[in-house]
Structure 1
Amino acid sequence: MTPAFSSWPAFFAMGGYAFYVWLAVACTLIALTGLVLHTIVQRRRLLNAIRQRQSRERRIHAAKSKKIAGEAAGEQP
């Protein structure tokens, strides 16, 4: 088996098509990096929204439990 390029400079030159090849590589890496960053940001936002909703539901449940306990004890609402 023989290598496709005889040296590193020949590899980076890509047989005269280096501009197009490396531009395509750069565009692909930029797009993939953007997708990864977007996914990370969206995940953080979603987890924060879930935490806030769970916290709110716990507060509502605690308030209802306190109100029911107070009514059972004979207090006025």
Structure 2
Amino acid sequence: MLEFLSQGGYGGYIWSAYGMTLALLVIETLGLRRGQRAILARLQRLLRLRNAGDKQ
């Protein structure tokens, strides 16, 4: 198992690259979800304003 983790002496580089990739994918996913929520909230506000204008 230790041989697998050491990857022929390059384990630190290899596993840190995997870790950085995973971290960036998680950050990207969270950012996209946050943006989606912001867009949906903006659309809801616009619909409320439009419906309020139609009633007057």
More helix per residue: 2
Identity of aligned residues (%): 19
> Which of structure 1's runs of 4+ aligned residues deviate more than 4 A?
none
Aligned length: 52
1:33 to 18, 22, 35: 22
Structure possessing the higher radius of gyration over alpha carbons: 1
Structure 1 alignment gaps of length 5 or more: 1-8, 68-77
* TM-score for the superposition, normalised by structure 1: 0.63
* TM-score for the superposition, normalised by structure 2: 0.84
Q: With CA pairs under 8 Å and 6+ residues apart, which has the higher RCO, 1 or 2?
A: 2
